[in-house]
Structure formats: C-alpha cells, structure tokens
Structure 1
Amino acid sequence: MLKDAQEILKHYYGHEAFRDGQETIMQHLFSGASAIGIMPTGGGKSICYQIPSQLLNGVTLVISPLISLMKDQVDELKEAGIPATFLNSSLSQEEGAERFRAVRRGEYSLVYIAPERLESPSFMNMLRNLHVSLVAVDEAHCLSQWGHDFRPSYMRIPEFLAQIHPAPPVLALTATATPEVAADIRRLLDIPQERTVLTGFTRENLSFHVHKGIDRDKFIRDYVKENAKQSGIIYAATRKEVERLGAKLKKAGIAAGTYHGGMSSDERKEMQDAFVYDELTVMVATNAFGMGINKSNVRFVIHAQMPRNIESYYQEAGRAGRDGSPSECILLFHPQDTRIQQFLIDQSDLAEDRKKNEYDKLQDIVNFCHTEGCLERYILDYFGDPESDTCGKCSSCIDERSVVDITKEAQMVLSCIKRMDERFGKTIVAQVLVGSSNQKMKDFSFQRLSTYGLMKGAGQKEVMQLIDYLVASRYIALSGGQYPVLKLTEHALPVLKNEEKVMRKQTVQPKKITEDDPLFDMLRELRSQLADQNDVAPYMVFSDQTLREFCRFRPKTHTEFLKIKGVGETKLAAYGDSFISAIRTFTEQEKSSVQS
C-alpha cells in the first residue's frame, strides 16, 4: 500500500516524499499493528492517519480534544479534495443525525470525534453497524496523569477500544511526551515499545530566545510593530494579564485580540476565527488558546510570562512555524512568574503526588530560563532526545551583545536593600534610591539612609528594571506572600565585598523575522482574496512556505506550478491560474522597471 500512499501524498498534498517517521508508522498500520508516533508540532503527524483513511477498507476515527481543531482540519482536508467530517457538540441534533447517515452511506472514510462522544449511547450504537479500520488518538499525552495536560475524558478510550470488533489498529500521536509519559501511553493503549516511532523533537525552523530583566511591555510593543506584517501569539499566565496586554497593544494601533477561559464560548470562537482568517495580526491568550490552533503561518510566539512546565512551553511555542518557515519563540522571564505558577499549583485540586510532580516540572523550566547553555539542547535533553549538537540559533548560541560592568550600580541596590533590613519590596527600594520625596519616605525616615538618592540621576522605572535583572540573575530573592519583599542571596556578599563583578549585556532590540519581499506581499494579498471568496482561512489556500517557493521559482505553467511543494491537483485546479497570472504580471512589471 505504500506506493498508493505515495501517490495520494503527491496528488492531494503536493509533496514528493514522506517526512521522517511517516512511512514507518504507515507500514505498522497497513499490517494491522498499533503504533505510537512522537513527532514535533508541524512534523506531519496528521498525514499518518489521513492517508491510511483513504486506503483502508472502513472508517478511520480520530479522537481529538478540541472542537475548533476538528473544524480546521476538516476544512483543510476539503480544500485538498479529501472528504472528511466531524461529530461533536457544536452540531445540532439534526446535523449530527445527517452526518451519522452520511458516514453509514460511506460518504466519509475519515471522522473526527471528541473524547466525550465515547459516552454517547447513540454513537456507540452507530459503531456496531460500521467497520472501523483505524482509531487515531491525537494529543495522546492527555491520557497520562504525568503529562502536562491530563484529561479525564481520555481515560475512557481504552474501554471504548475494547468494544470495537474486530479490533482495529490504534495510532497514538503526540509532540510532547517525556519517556515516562510515552511509557504510560503504551501501557494504556497496549502498544509494544518496539512500535514507538520517535522522530526527534528538533524543530529546525524555530529559534528559541529567553530574555530576563527587561521592560516586557516595551519589548512586546516594539517587537510586534517591527514585525507588523507577521502573525503571532502572545501567551500570559492569567486572564487579567491577557486583558491588560491586549488593551495596550490595541492602544498602540495593533490589530490584537484576546482569548481566555473567562470569555463566553461565542466570544472565544469569534476571536479565534478572526485570528485564523488573518483579520487579527496578534492573539494575546492564556493557555486556554490551546491545542486547537492549526494555523500554519504563525511567525512568532511570545511568552510574556513563564508557563508552568517545559511540555506546555514547547507545545505552545511550537505553534509558530507549522509550515516550516523560519519563526521565533521568545520567553520573557521575570522571577515573579515563578510565584504565580506556584500559586496556581497550590490552588489546584490535584492530588499531593501530582502537585509534587508539577513543582518538579516548574523547577525544570525555571532552570531553563537561567541556563547559559543552548536552549534547544536543554529542551531536547528534557524529552530524552539523543541529539547532542548545539542549535547555533537560540539566544544563548548567537548572543553577541556587548557586556557592561554594572558592579557599582548593583552595589548601590544591594546595599540599599541591606540597610532597609530586607523588609521592603521593589517599588519602595527604587524610590529610596532615586530620592523620592513622597510621604512614605518621611514616615519611615528613609531620607536618613546613606543610600537615599544614590541613583537620583536615573528614573524610578530604570532602577526597577535593574532590580528585576539582579533578581533574575539570583543576587536578590523575592520572599513569598502577597507583597513580596527583596532579600539578598548568598551571591550578593561577594559583590558587596568587591570580590566579584556584575556584568550586564545590552538590552536586546527586536528585529524583523524575515526581510520584506514585494512579490510575497502581493501573493499574500491574492491568497487573502481567494480565501475570502472560498470562505476558508488563508493558510488553507497555500502556506507561507509555498508562497515563498512561488517567489523563488516563479512558475509559468501548470506543470511548473505542480512541482512546487504544497501544490496538489485540487489546488492547482482551484488556484493555479490566479497565482500564475499574478506572478507573470509582477515579473513583467519588474523587468519594465529595471529597463526604465
């Protein structure tokens, strides 16, 4: 069947060859054997069941956690010419019944369902009259209580599988499974270890960056403006922070939306649709804006606050660059983020052993934020990936910023905290250092301190950023409680004794992800027009990577157009003439401009 699978790959998806791991997985499935695929986001996991669904005799069921993701995938399959449908709570009773009948008639060989659907008696009755050829479990890490996104609804899957006769092969897919989680998935789905297909966690097109002790609001605003033509996601840990950041970006004239669990389902759907259809450039969201993101042209993901663990970070960051084009993943670290995540774990209703597991995972990502080694290497080590080389493109590997000696300024801050008996927070300490004349200074007689006004030449905000840097560099610690106070760590004493210097790199400046390309901009505009005419998301017409290929090769005929990666027969028929004509017009105008 692999030869037939190769033909489907070219005809519908426009690709000449399978990616790493895809062929191995399909060989298992075609022989009737179950398998687990651990592949990075954007690594082509969905093809591993979509192509077999067209070749196996029966219905392929895909258990997927989010309704929005199902709709996106079904719409994208229809654009490629593959019949697919979904069954979930977004459908009316009449719509659901009609789709049931269409599945029975054999109109669809690929059906997406939510895990909650397994509790429906009517659905289970329908299955008794169907031949299920394959069951795919997407986001399979949700099965494991040791995973970062355990979902109780997934626990019904093994029981559900036991009721299907004859037993179909099962394909478990995930992008974020540690060795422990992978073993849990295999045990629950009865998949032998030798049928684990691990392609590695490396995302060649992504670059990872961690920035500490900087003005986060300014960085985000400047970065988004610098990359105004690019689509991006900004994650924050709380609803309040999402609303605050969203309001600031809108005020700066940026087409930004907000998304969090406190919004109604209709509001969330409206925001997500606007983002997917490129009506919004940026989405500011909590992790509620989760696995249902199939948009391929997200060029950057910024974490304005540190997430709870490496798995969440890698999955959320991995929503950048699904089309394979260069993209950036940026984490803006502040020590206060750790306290926020600790509070969220404390307030959760997790069992004590799972809370301990979450605290351990939290420490892992704190260590990630402080490592001076390759960031990608740290992530790969965490997931047990045997790759050993440094990436050469993360903020640790390519940091060429000049270093400034700030020992004198650091001593001023550390000395001030000491003289204030380590009893006050960042704001008060900064006010003492700049020589504020507010009432609190008088109430506590702070103006009598030798450190009062030592940094009066600097602004209060600048001093607070310096304190943030010293906290992030572990010279200062934040105490617990609702109003954290600053305390010196064991690293502060050598600085105060002039035994050690404090060095600080220049503030990082936002840069463009990709250079401007007039032809790319023209084709992107054409893509938006065609998407609007066909009522689909722009990335479903062609990915950014395919548009870049058009710019590079400038196809003039259908034959040349079909050779471009990402162009299948269906899309050639639907969009080929429009793009070929646009490329021809641009090329002629370009020649005319050069001649004149």
Structure 2
Amino acid sequence: MLKFKMKFLERSFSLTPQDILEKYYGYTEFRPGQKQIIDQILAGQNTLAIMPTGGGKSLCYQVPALLLPGLTLVVSPLISLMKDQVDSLRDSGIHAGFINSSQSWEETRQILAAAANGELKLLYIAPERLEQPGFMERLQHLHVALAAIDEAHCISQWGHDFRKSYLALSSILPQIQSQPTIIALTATATTEVAQDIMARLDVPPENEVKTGFARPNLAFKVVKGQNKNNFILKYVKANRNSAGIIYAATRKKAEQIGAMLQKAGIKAAVYHAGLPEDVKKKNQEDFLFDRLSVIVATNAFGMGIDKSNVRYIIHAQAPGSLEAYYQEAGRAGRDGSNAEAILLYAAQDMQIQRLFAENSDADEKHKEVIYHNIQSMVNYVNTQTCLQKFIVNYFGQDMEDCGTCSNCTDDRQETDITVTTQKILSCVMRMHQRYGRKLVAQVLAGSKAKRVLELNLTELPTYGIMHDTKANQIEELIDYLTASGYLTMPDPQYPTLHVTQLGADILRGQGTVTRKVAIIQNNSANPEDSELFERLRALRYELAEKQGVPPYVIFSDQTLHEMCSQLPDELEQMLEIKGVGQQKLAKYGQQFLTVLDSYRDKEPSDLV
C-alpha cells in the first residue's frame, strides 16, 4: 500500500491546478470549495464533496486526474451520463473513455488496452462493473490513482435513491491493489446520509467539504389550486424558445402531458422506463441536442444529465422526497443563468407516493425512511417561509431568505386563523391523537362518512364545528399547521396527528396563528433572447451536429450570453470569457468571432 501512496510524490509539478483550470476549462477562478477538494485529493486524502447541482463537482476530480500519475476511475450511474462527460472531456482535449453495456467486447478490450498503455486519464464505469471478477482482475494491472464516486448518496440506505450496487463499493474499492484515494460527490445529502457515506468509504469527518445547498439563480415556486394541464400548456407556450423538463410521478401522466403538448404544436417528447431503449435514447439525444424544447419524464430521466441550458423544471406531481425534488429541480440553471423550478401540487400527489411505498419491496426500516421523506415533502409545499431556505435548512444549513421564490415574493396580507387552528387542535386532542388528517377533517366538517359513524365520532363536541368548510380544505389547513410546527406525525408510516408544545400553547390562548390565503399564480416567461444570441446558438448547433455532440459541449448558454455582452473583437479577448479555454479557442474561436464581427458591422438602423 505504501508503495502506491508514494506515487503521489512523483506527480509532475510543471502544471498546477490553476494551469489546468485555465487551459482546459477556460476559467480563471475556482468556485467555492473546489480548490480545497482538489488539494485534499492531491494530498491523498479521502474526501466527501457536497455541492449543489451546477456547483462544479466534476471539475473536482477531473483536475486532479490530469495532475496525478495513473488513471482516475469514475463510478457513474447512467450510460448517457458517461457518454456526455466523455464527449465533453474529449472536446476539451482531455483523454477519457467509458465502459458500459452498450459496447461490444472488442470495444471494451480496446478501452482497457488504452488505459493500460497510459493513453487515458479518466475511465468511466457503472458500479455493477466493479462486481464482475474479470474486470477487477484487469483493474489490478492498472495504476488507479483516484476513484471518484458520482451521485454518492446512492450508497446510503438513508438516502432517497439507495442502490445495492453502490453499497458494494465500500467493500470492493479497498480490493484495488493501488489503493486509490477516494472522492465521493453528491448534490443532495442530509447530515445523516453524509455521515453514512463517510463511514462506508473511510472519509474522515474533517475531510467533508460542503459548499452550501443554496442556488441563487433558481427561483422556486409552489402552485396550488390551478388546472395543472392548463398551467403547463400556457407556461410552455410562453417559454417556447427555452429548454425545460416536466416531471410526472407515473408513466401514464407523462404520456398524457406529452400528447397534450405535441397536439399543441410543441416540440416535446416523453421519457420513462417503459419505453423501448432506442426510443429513450432518441428522445434523450433530441433534447440534449436542442432538437426538442421540452421532455416530459418520470424520475427515470435526468440523474447526472449535463445539459446546462435548462431554463425551467415543472413538477406536474410532487415527488416522494425533498432530496429527489431538489436534485430534479437543480437540473435547471446549471449554467448559472436564471431559471425556475415550479411544483404544481395537489393533495392526491402524496397519496400516489404512499401507494408506491406500500407496494415497494423495501424492508420495514427502509419503508420508515420513505414515509419520513414523504412527510418532508408535504411540509415543504405547505410552508409559508422562504422555499429555498426551507430546503437548505432540511439539509442542515441556514441562509437568508432568497427573495425570489413564490413565498418571498408573495405580498398578500396574512389572515389571522387562530380560532380555526384552535378548533382543529381541539379536535385532534378529543380524538385522543389516534387518527390521521382525513378523519379529523371529516369530523370537523360534519361528515356522515361510514367510518365517522362506526366510531361514534358524531358524539364529539368538535363534530361539525367547521361545517361551512369543505373537508379537503380542512386537510390543507392541517398540512399547513403540520408544516408550521403546531401538529406533528411521530410515525409517518401510520400518520396519526399529535399536538406539539407549540400547538398546546395556542390551545391555551398563548399566541396567534396567521396564514396567507390561497391565490392563483400566473406563470412568468423568460424574456426573448437577443438576435445575436440566436445567431451564436445557430452556429453552436451547426458545429454540434457535425461533431455528433450536444450543443452545450461546444459552449454553454452562459458563455454565449457573455459573448453577446462583451462583444470581443480579437481572439485573445475571447479568452476573457468564462468557458473559453485555449483548446476551445483554437477549435471554435474564429468561427464565433466571425459571427460577432458580422453583427457588429451592421448599420445602426439594422440593430433596432
């Protein structure tokens, strides 16, 4: 083991991380946390990196890969993600490859031969590949200096996307003879999940680098009380020139929304696990290559999708956890430009998620986690505090109000609901804190439902005291009081309501409760892109088509916007634009400069 660890001292110091950043990536400064993570890796220290989507996680292992002797092994969950990452690296002049089930044995053999000959710096594989004895045997003949575990939350059974193939990594990686340094990377990890990852991968607590979960460029919105189909159709039409993802909880719902958009003339496609592989591949590539503006998908789509110019994410149905929601919502605005994450909520969304949980093959311990996650989602959609702050708090951090979410921008007057709250809390107490929200709401509304009659709940003093309010509206109030801390469900698997100490104070008349009344929200369209931006985007698309890579591999939207604002007139000035490195300047600089020059040379009257 010592023999291999000593090789860290043999790496060449002719290039520094800063040199790599400028030469291959076109940036002059590291983002928060990146330099610390890179320094820890170069020092041979196992590291956990928790960074928001779009925070630059991949650069944290790609830069060390170019400085360390030997190979960097990247464990990645999806075939499509591997290809996108490798295409992007190769386009920047970095030698990388991947091995997955889409390749023939001959292709796999050639990739392994290239790795053995030192012709590759990065090799992407699926976690299942490491479980194959033949592959592990070949791996022992390579000097693997670094093992990068992407989407590392999949390791933990406390995470929202636990996978058994990831769990095996903790016992497999130590078997690699060269004893590589390990870096685990994720965008979504609660304190409990992070501790689990570190324990399994032998990461010291002091080597956890958490840069913050806030996404300042992302505006979160929760929309209730609207016809979901009408909202989606109106919003997508208003943002016709922007790329977006619409998530649905079921295949049937995804198909229905996709058909609706296509009928309206929107360039949209559907993606879910039930589609043939060739259809899924085509639809995903059409979206990545900007041949489609919208993709409607289940959660089968998106993990690690590296499309930087997604301007909006709409959840037509709430997902099963706040971690899953934040990861999916985080696929918008990866380029740093403003984007929206909109959740269209209805109470039946969570009934679907509970049904998924009941029918899953998870053991009781894992089901407990699933039900807890569902409740965290219910609390999110019912809070009236800052939405982004609520999420960041959930992950164990704090922040100021974002100022852009639907709660922060809501200027309606708050209504005093103290008396209504006391009625609800009193009913929960008189029902001995043994029943759930639905039955409590029925009692308050004066329902003649079979179970209400069977349990003789009509005899309670609180029966019918809210008869002028519909039961489903009372359920929404109960959800709000739960999210606000007046009620709790100690066991989410059996969601019986209990009054908290805060709720007890309200019952005793100590304090008031306020709430903003529901409102129909209008969608906000992004402004139309400039003529110059469209010209640059057309050139990018043409180059991408010729090379068979997604357009963002050439340049991100953010880079094109900077070209529009800075209007460089010399190749050297192009290097001052973020995302334009020496490699890409040599390949594309002159062509983009020609478009800028032709635009600049137009008569002023033509520019109006």
TM-score range, shorter chain: 0.7 to 0.9
What do residues 545-583 of structure 1 show as CA deviations (whole Å, max 9, x unaligned)? 001101110111001111100001121111111111111
| Aligned match of 1:321 | 333
CA distance in 1, matches of 2:31, 2:179: 28
Residues 1:26 and 2:38 are matched in the alignment:
yes
**Equivalent residues, number:** 531
What do residues 20-43 of structure 1 show as CA deviations (whole Å, max 9, x unaligned)? 111111111111111110111111
Q: 1:280 to 1:404 in 2, by over 3 A?
A: farther
Deviation at 1:471, TM superposition (A): 5.4
Superposition TM-score, scaled by structure 1 size: 0.84
- SS of the residue 2:123 aligns to: strand
Q: 1:577 to 1:224 in 2, by over 3 A?
A: same
Aligned ranges for residues 448-467 of structure 1 at < 5 Å? none
| Aligned match of 1:370 | 382
- For structure 2, the residue ranges without an aligned partner over 5 or more in a row are 1-12, 417-440, 452-467, 482-498, 500-512
- SS of the residue 2:148 aligns to: strand
| The one of 111, 114, 118 aligned to 2:123 | 111
Runs of 4+ in 1 over 3 A off after TM superposition: 400-405, 417-424, 466-477, 500-506
Deviation at 1:473, TM superposition (A): 4.6
Q: 1:590 to 1:137 in 2, by over 3 A?
A: farther
| Aligned match of 1:460 | none
Q: 1:20 to 1:503 in 2, by over 3 A?
A: closer
CA distance in 1, matches of 2:241, 2:450: 47
Percent identity of equivalent pairs? 49
Aligned 8 A contact 1:402 1:505 in 2: no
| Aligned match of 2:305 | 293
Q: 1:401 to 1:256 in 2, by over 3 A?
A: farther
Aligned ranges for residues 264-413 of structure 1 at < 5 Å? 264-385=276-397, 387-400=398-411
Aligned ranges for residues 485-504 of structure 1 at < 5 Å? 504=517
What do residues 356-383 of structure 1 show as CA deviations (whole Å, max 9, x unaligned)? 1111111111010000000011001100
| The one of 87, 112, 120 aligned to 2:132 | 120
CA distance in 1, matches of 2:479, 2:324: 28
Aligned 8 A contact 2:445 2:471 in 1: no
Aligned 8 A contact 2:218 2:338 in 1: yes
| Aligned match of 1:565 | 578
- SS of the residue 1:46 aligns to: helix
Q: Which amino acid aligns with 1:148?
A: H
RMSD: 2.9
| Aligned match of 1:70 | 82
Greater CA drift, 577-586 or 84-93: 577-586
What do residues 276-333 of structure 1 show as CA deviations (whole Å, max 9, x unaligned)? 1111111100000031411111110000000000000000000111111111000011
Q: 1:472 to 1:214 in 2, by over 3 A?
A: farther
Residues 1:421 and 2:434 are matched in the alignment:
no
What do residues 195-250 of structure 1 show as CA deviations (whole Å, max 9, x unaligned)? 00010111111111001111111111011111100000000100111111111111
Residues 1:548 and 2:566 are matched in the alignment:
no
| Aligned match of 2:269 | 257
Q: 1:545 to 1:126 in 2, by over 3 A?
A: same
Q: 1:467 to 1:98 in 2, by over 3 A?
A: same
Deviation at 1:522, TM superposition (A): 1.8
| Aligned match of 2:67 | 55
| Aligned match of 2:94 | 82
Q: 1:329 to 1:578 in 2, by over 3 A?
A: same
| The one of 523, 530, 534 aligned to 2:543 | 530
Q: Which amino acid aligns with 1:47?
A: L
Greater CA drift, 305-314 or 95-104: 95-104
Q: Which amino acid aligns with 2:577?
A: I
CA distance in 2, matches of 1:544, 1:91: 32
Q: Which amino acid aligns with 2:98?
A: F
CA distance in 2, matches of 1:214, 1:472: 15
Superposition TM-score, scaled by structure 2 size: 0.82
- For structure 1, the residue ranges without an aligned partner over 5 or more in a row are 406-413, 425-453, 455-465, 478-489, 491-499
Aligned 8 A contact 1:404 1:506 in 2: no
Greater CA drift, 585-594 or 6-15: 585-594
Q: 1:419 to 1:126 in 2, by over 3 A?
A: closer
CA distance in 2, matches of 1:159, 1:150: 16
CA distance in 1, matches of 2:310, 2:188: 19
Q: Which amino acid aligns with 1:382?
A: Y
Aligned 8 A contact 1:115 1:157 in 2: yes
CA distance in 2, matches of 1:380, 1:502: 22
| Aligned match of 1:16 | 28
Residues 1:175 and 2:202 are matched in the alignment:
no
Aligned 8 A contact 2:224 2:520 in 1: no
CA distance in 2, matches of 1:593, 1:28: 54
Residues 1:97 and 2:114 are matched in the alignment:
no
Aligned 8 A contact 2:224 2:518 in 1: no
| Aligned match of 1:129 | 141
CA distance in 2, matches of 1:187, 1:403: 46
CA distance in 1, matches of 2:480, 2:338: 37
Residues 1:229 and 2:256 are matched in the alignment:
no
Deviation at 1:271, TM superposition (A): 1.1
Deviation at 1:100, TM superposition (A): 1.1
Deviation at 1:420, TM superposition (A): 7.4
